[in-house]
Amino acid sequence: MIQIQVPMEILKLAHFSLLIFPLLFIAAVSDVDPISEALLSLKSELIDHSNSLSDWIIMPSSPVNSSSDDKIVACSWSGVKCDSNSSLLIGLDLSVKNLGGALSGKQFNAFTEILDLNLSYNSFSEQLPQSIFNLTNLRSLDISRNNFSGHFPKGISNLQQLVVLDAFSNSFSGPLPADVSEIQSLKVLNFAGSYFSGPIPSEFGSFKNLDFIHLAGNSLSGEIPPELGMLKTVTHMEIGYNTYEGSIPWQLGNMSELQYLDMAGANLSGVIPKELCNLTKLESIFLFRNMLNGMLPWEFSSIVSLQSLDLSDNLLSGTIPDSFSELKNLRLLSLMYNDLSGTVPEGIAELPQLDTLLIWNNYFSGSLPQNLGKYSKLKYVDVSTNNFVGEIPSGICTSGMLLKLILFSNNFSGGLYPSLSNCSTLIRLRIEDNSFSGEMSLIFSNLPDITYMDLSRNKFVGRITSDIAKASNLEYFNVSNNPELGGVIPEKIWSLLYLQNFSAASCGISGNIPAFEVCKSVIVVELSRNNLSGTFPGSVSNCQGLMMMNLSSNNLSGHIPVELANLPAINILDMSHNRFSGRIPMEFGNSSSLKLLNVSFNDLSGSIPLEKSFRLMDSSAFIGNPRLCGVPLRPCYHGKGMPRGLELGSRKTQKFAWVLISCAVIVLLIVSLIFGIIHFRKGAKDDWKIVSFSGFPGFTAHDVLRSFNPTEATNAFSHSVCKAVLPTGITVSVKKIEWEPKRVDTMSRLIDRMGNARHKNLARLLGFIYNKHLAYLLYDHLPNENLAEKISLKRDWDTKYKIIIGIARGLYFLHHDCFPAIPHGDLMASNVVFDENMEPQLAEFGLSSLFQISNSHFPATTNPETGEVSTCTKDQLYKDIYYFGELIMEILTNGRLKNAEVQIKNTSKVVLLQDIFNENEISPSNPIQEEIKLVFDVALQCMRSRPSDRPTMEDALKLLLQLKHQKT
């Protein structure tokens, strides 16, 4: 080793330099100009998560001010704007810099000449410093999308030059500041998205130059002040998503410049004042989700500039006025979820700009306008759940832009040709529960983008055409309950790459089941009550995702293929009422996912597998196979199959035994007949009905009622359940809902949508029974514990990531793949359950919406921009995302950080992350730290205080899947 000696003089010099350098730096800072010094002081208060202010620094070599030099050193720093001489600070833009912390405001006294101050898109918290109102030259103040809290400070009226005040999306509480109305120069006023309470100050009607006012999404109450009608310069007003009292003031009709009016979700009642029709410059009116009643004002026809009219989710009655045909600029017409009736005026079809027509859930009758689609640019049409008759208008797809056509639950008739023969843009087609007839006449090769198609419960004939395999994006296909359809199953149906659901029950289909060449995505296959024959193809082994298959009531024969028993996800398999022979493959006993195997009424022999899952199944799943034995049927014997008790003894004893058995059967029949008569009479009163979803055997309502004690069934909005063992042995969880007769249709439709939501990360709603007063929801019973019970267990990072991704996929499906969207509404660890493969599933989704409908007047809503329909408010979807963020934090900390909002506000990100690393025993050198950081950041984004700042579930899932791509 070579040793080098450093002279002592050099070491002393180095030591001296280390001492003198900070002294020079301090001296330099002490001589800096007051503006730069104030900015450095401000920086010292901030939490700079992304080091965005790294250039806010003064080096010893930097020139400092002298008496002859008035230039501001900070003029070159990011976000700092000075005049042309660099002698005055005129703007400070700290927006979107990932800054946090509380502001003392002591530095603002140095910024007396500043004109524009922008602090938006950060995480500043606590109170807004009152000293900010000493900046009397301000023209623009933007503090939006932060977490400022407490009452809004007094003194805003000092800013007499202010033109823009944007405080959107914070956590302010208390009353709105009435003194802001003293700023007559103000043009933009945005106090939306906080927790302001109390009434809108009547002083807000005194602005003379205001153009934009946004107060929505607070906790405002009281009546809307009629003084707002004095705002003659306002063009844009949003004051909805509050809880007002009373009606819409007619004085708002005096706001002559108004172009955009949004008072949705505001608890408003009464009639729509006809004076609003004086607002002839209006382009958008959003009054949905209120309690408005009366008739649609025919005077709306005078607002010729109107583009969007959404009056849905109210109590409006009467007809659509013929005068609406004069609204030539109308793009969105949403009247769904009201009490409207009559026919749709023919003139609606001639509106040239109309792209969204949403009138579902009313009492409309007659035919749709025959020219609908010919002269307009239709994209979304939903007229479901009305009393329409007649055929689909022949020109419905003329514009070449139609994406979604929803016609279910009406009395439409006729065929699909020519109206849908060339509808190449369709993504979603729902025409179930009508009286359509004739051949389907759909050319699937002309439907390249179709993903969802439900043609069930109609009267189609002919067959499913073989070119269905050319609908390359098809995910869901249901043609069940078209008894005269006939034909065969198309040979290449399983080759559709994205097909998840194929339902063709009760269709008179014959022939063989095609080979399962490619079926990676298939989850549900329903082919019951047809005339299928031949053997079942062993190539079903390719269907690794298959969860449910119903082949009952056909003429299938041969052996049950062992490949079915080896499917990893198979849950329900119904092969009853066929001609299968041979033994039940013993491999079924090894299936961890199988809940029901119904092989009743076949020609099977041998013994039933001995595994526990089979012992739990009811005998009704195996009866009708004389040569089949074992639990839960008769014991298996080595002789001729007769129980020894009947083989022994004299012939006289045996004859006596058979006489006793015969008498018992006769008595049982008589008793059953008596109970049947009583039951029939009682049934007229109770009128129980059953609705079954994919994968639920064909039970009657009384089969279900006999399987559990109704007094033990808990309310659907509690977290406990009642278990029921149905006749085939399948175990379900039962939840009870009480409802008023007038809400039966509304709530049952929502339950129907919940039941048809099928995804591997959603617990399945199998069906429900109901009468006029209550319903019992039947859920897939999952015996494993939920996440809350397992949250404290130490897990490796890959397992935690899998759970988070599974939850995210389930939420994504509810928010983005269901139309209308379904909010979960009660996302928490106890509502994340695990299947047999420990795959997370979201339980009890949609129940909060049921609760709202059953206990209040909460109706469905629409998205004004896209016309998408939703039975929830956007707020509910935002809440799902927030609680998803909280759930991530729980998973990352093994349940220690529950309801993490307070900890996140009071603890720095660095400290929280370190706690998480320690909790998971992740060392600093472990690359997993970066993966956890990514997931942690997604959680923080989901938990932002202002809902509009949170990502959608689509965005959140994309961010989380980035990690998956990195790992692969």
Residues annotated as catalytic (active site), given as ranges:
826
Evaluate whether 392 touches 370 at the Cβ level (below 8 Å): no
Q: Amino acid identity, residue 366? A: G
| Non-local CB neighbours of 308 within 8 Å, separated by 6+ positions | 283, 284, 285, 286, 330, 331, 332, 864
| Non-local CB neighbours of 57 within 8 Å, separated by 6+ positions | none
Tokens of 797: 């990072």
Residue bearing tokens 């009655």: 317
Evaluate whether 520 touches 544 at the Cβ level (below 8 Å): yes
Q: Which of 540, 623, 539 is nearest to 576 (CA)?
A: 623
Sign of CA dihedral 726, 730, 734, 739: negative
Evaluate whether 166 touches 188 at the Cβ level (below 8 Å): yes
Q: Are strands 363-366 and 332-334 parallel, antiparallel or unpaired?
A: unpaired
Residue bearing tokens 């009353």: 175
Residue bearing tokens 């033994």: 583
Sheet holding 123-126, edge to edge: 47-48, 99-102, 123-126, 147-151, 171-174, 195-198, 219-220
Give helix 797-812 / helix 953-967 axis angle, nearest 10°: 150
For residue 853, report the phi and psi dihedrals to the nearest 5 degrees.
-65, -40
Reduce the secondary structure of 296-310 to three states and give it as a string: CCHHHHHCCCCCEEE
Q: Amino acid identity, residue 800? A: K
Tokens of 382: 């939903």
Q: Amino acid identity, residue 115? A: L
Sheet holding 339-342, edge to edge: 317-318, 339-342, 363-366, 387-390, 411-414, 435-439, 459-461
In angstroms, rounded to a whole number, what is the distance separating the alpha carbons of residues 724 and 294?
A: 47
Residue bearing tokens 């791509």: 965
In angstroms, rounded to a whole number, what is the distance separating the alpha carbons of residues 504 and 521?
A: 18
In angstroms, rounded to a whole number, what is the distance separating the alpha carbons of residues 648 and 717?
A: 58
In angstroms, rounded to a whole number, what is the distance separating the alpha carbons of residues 770 and 81?
A: 68
Report helix, strand or coil for 574. strand
DSSP per residue, 640-695 = SS--HHHHSS-HHHHHHHHHHHHHHHHHHHHHHHHHHHHHHHHHHHH--EEEE-TT
Evaluate whether 393 touches 349 at the Cβ level (below 8 Å): yes
Report DSSP state, residue 341: E
| Non-local CB neighbours of 123 within 8 Å, separated by 6+ positions | 47, 49, 98, 99, 100, 146, 147
For residue 270, report the phi and psi dihedrals to the nearest 5 degrees.
85, -170
Q: What's the chain's length in residues?
A: 968
Q: Are strands 195-198 and 171-174 parallel, antiparallel or unpaired?
A: parallel
Give the residue ranges of DSSP H helices in 347-445: none
Tokens of 185: 């120069």
Evaluate whether 412 touches 437 at the Cβ level (below 8 Å): no
In angstroms, rounded to a whole number, what is the distance separating the alpha carbons of residues 557 and 538?
A: 13
- Inter-residue long-range contacts of 442-448, CB under 8 Å, 24+ positions, other chains counted: 442/416, 443/467, 444/468, 444/469, 444/470, 444/471, 444/474, 445/470, 445/471, 446/421, 446/422, 447/423, 447/471, 448/424, 448/472, 448/473
Tokens of 125: 């918290």
